[in-house]
Chain A
Amino acid sequence: MIEFREVSKVYAGSGEPVVKDLSFEVPEGEICVLVGPSGCGKTTTMRMINRLVELTSGDILLGGDSVTKISATRLRREIGYAIQGIGLFPHRTIVDNIGTVPRLLGWDRGRVRMRADELLDLVGLEPGQYRDRYPAELSGGQQQRVGVARAMAADPPVMLMDEPFGAVDPITRTRLQDEFLRIQQGINKTIVFVTHDIDEAIKMGDRIAILEAGGVLAQYDTPGKVLSEPASEFVASFVGADRVLKHLSLVRVGDVELDPANGDAGSLPRLGEDVSLRDALSELIGAGAERALVISGGDEVRGEITLDGIRQLNRRSGG
C-alpha cells in the first residue's frame, strides 16, 4: 500500500542526508511505527509521504502511484494527518476543526456535523458537550483526541500520525493508545505512526521500522521479531536490556499451550487468560510458585502455566 523505494533526503544547505536509502513496504490495513532516537529522521520520513517534505531521490508509492505525480493538495486531502503537537486551529470550534478536510472536499454543513459527532463519540468525547467549544477550552488529552478525530474526518485510507499522544501524561497516553487500537480494529486504516518511545512502538505497531542516526533503516520487522532477533547491536540496545520481558508482555497466557491442571490446585496463584506472560512471570516470582492456574471466563480452569514453560517459550522464539 505504501512503498518506500530507496528514498533519500538531503535538506538544502546541508551535505549530509537525514534519510538514507530507505526501502520498506507498509501493507494495507497495518500500523507501521517509525521509531528511533530524536533527530534520526522519523518526521522527515513521514512528511515525504504527503509531500510536506519533497524527497531528494528514490520514490514513494501510494497504492502503486508515485506521490510525486499527484498534486500535493489533493494528496494531502486523501491522507489523514495528525501532527506532532496537535496543531488544532485555535479560532475554530471543535466541529469546524474536525470538518476542515470534509469542507475542502465540498461536504455540506449537515453532513460535516454528523460526521464530527460520530467521530467525537468514537474518540470518547460527548458531542453535545464538546462540539461547539474552542480548542483552548479542552485539556491536552482531549485536544489530542480531537486531533486524531480530525485526521480521520474524511475517512482517508491512509493516516500519518506524528507522536500523536506525545503531549499528554503517561496514564492518559496509555488510555489513548488503547482506544486507538480498539478503533483501528474496526476501521483497518493503513497507518504510519511516529514515536521515539520503543514501548509505544511495540504496543502500537504491526510492524516497526527502527531508524538509526542518519536516517538508516536498522530493522523492519514485527514487534516480536524485533525483540527476539534484534538485527544489530544498535537495535538490541535501543529496545533495551529488558527486551525479553517486553517480548513476554506481547503474549497472553491464554494464547500459549498450557499444561493440563493436575491435583492440589487449591494453593496455586490464579491468572485470567488475558494476563500477559510478563505479568504471569511477575505473579509467579512474587508468589514464590513454580506454576499457576489459568482461568477463563468466570471460573473454568483452562490449564496450568509453569516457570519452565515460560522459559522454554522464550527460548523457542529465539530470545
Chain B
Amino acid sequence: MDSGFSLALQGRPPVDFDWILRNLSGDIIPAFLEHLYLSLVPVAVALAISLPLGILAHRHRVIYPPVTAVAGVLYTIPSLAFFVMLIPIMGIGQAPVLVALTAYSLLVLIRNVVTGLDSVPAETQDAARGMGLTDRQILFGVELPLALPVIVAGIRISTVTAVGIATIADFVGGGGLGSLIFDGIGQQFLTAILVGSLLAVAIAVSADLGLTWLEGRLRPWARRAGGAA
C-alpha cells in the first residue's frame, strides 16, 4: 500500500466528526440521495422491462434463449468499461451509469420472472382455467402472486449489486457515495472514505434485509405451512 497515505493518517483523530457535521447537508446527504437514485432507478426501470418480457418469454418459450443471451452478454461487460463505452453516446454524468446498471439488472430479473412463473404448478393453472378464469385473471390472480416471492428475490439481488457498482459512478462524473470515497482517497482523508463506504454498506444491507423480509411476507402460505393435519 501507499505508505505516505498511511503516514498521513497518523496524528489526526481517526474520524473527524466535526467534518461530518459541517458537510452533512452540503455533501453527505446529497451524495447519499444521489446514490439511492443511481441504484434504485435502474432496478425499477429494469423491472418495468423484465416483467412484460419475462411474461412473454414464459408464454412463448422460443424467445427466452435469445433474450437471456442478450441480457447475459450485457451482464458480462465489466462495469467501468461499460460506463466508458457509453460516454461517446451520452456524455459523462449520471446517464451512462443509469443505463449500464439497468442493463446489468435485466438478466437476473428476467430469469427470476420466468423461473417464478414456471414454479406455478401445472395443475394449479389447469384448475384455474377449468374454473373459467380468463388468461388475464390467471396471470394477475394466480401466476404473478405465486411468482412474486421469486421476483422479489431477483429485485433484492439486483438492488444489492447496483448499490455496489454505483460506488464507482463518480469515475464518469455520476456522483453518489463514490464521490466521497474518491475525494477521501485523493485527499488522504479517512473520514470521508469511511462515511462514503459505510453509507453504501448500510444501503445494501438494509435493501437486502428489507427485501428478504418482504419475500417472506409475500409467502404466507409457506410461512404457516408445517401445521398440516
On A, residues with C-beta under 8 Å from B are 47, 50, 52, 72-77, 81, 83-92, 100-101, 104, 133-139, 142, 150, 160
* Residue contact A89 to B132, C-beta cutoff 8 Å: no
Q: How far is the CB of A166 from chain B (nearest CB, A)?
A: 12
Q: How would you classify the secondary structure of chain A's contact residues: helix, strand, loop or mixed? A: mixed
* Residue contact B225 to A104, C-beta cutoff 8 Å: no
- What A residues does B124 contact at CB under 8 A? 87-90
Q: How far is the CB of A62 from chain B (nearest CB, A)?
A: 14
In the assembly, what is the distance between CA of A305 and CA of B63, in Å?
73
* Residue contact B220 to A134, C-beta cutoff 8 Å: yes
* Residue contact B131 to A104, C-beta cutoff 8 Å: yes
In the assembly, what is the distance between CA of A74 and CA of B132, in Å?
7
Q: Is B217 an interface residue (CB 8 A)?
A: no
Which 7 A-B pairs rank lowest in CB-CB distance, beginning with the nearest?
A: A87-B127, A76-B132, A136-B225, A77-B132, A134-B221, A81-B130, A87-B123
- What A residues does B13 contact at CB under 8 A? none
Extra contacts besides A87-B127, A90-B124, A91-B145 (16): CB < 8 Å: A47-B130, A77-B131, A83-B130, A87-B123, A89-B128, A91-B142, A104-B133, A134-B220, A134-B225, A136-B222, A136-B228, A137-B225, A137-B226, A137-B228, A137-B229, A138-B229
In the assembly, what is the distance between CA of A74 and CA of B131, in Å?
9
In the assembly, what is the distance between CA of A85 and CA of B227, in Å?
21
The winner among B137, B225, B228 for most chain A CB atoms within 10 A is B228
Q: Is B129 an interface residue (CB 8 A)?
A: yes
Interface string of B116-146 (1 = CB under 8 A from A): 0000010110111111111001000010011
A-B CB contact pairs (8 Å), 16 listed: A47-B130, A75-B132, A76-B131, A81-B127, A81-B130, A81-B131, A83-B130, A84-B123, A87-B123, A100-B131, A104-B137, A134-B224, A137-B226, A137-B227, A137-B228, A139-B228
- What A residues does B227 contact at CB under 8 A? 133, 137
- What A residues does B133 contact at CB under 8 A? 73, 100, 104
Interface string of B140-162 (1 = CB under 8 A from A): 00100110000000000000000
- What A residues does B134 contact at CB under 8 A? 73
In the assembly, what is the distance between CA of A91 and CA of B127, in Å?
14
Which partner residue on chain B sits nearest A103 by CB separation?
B141
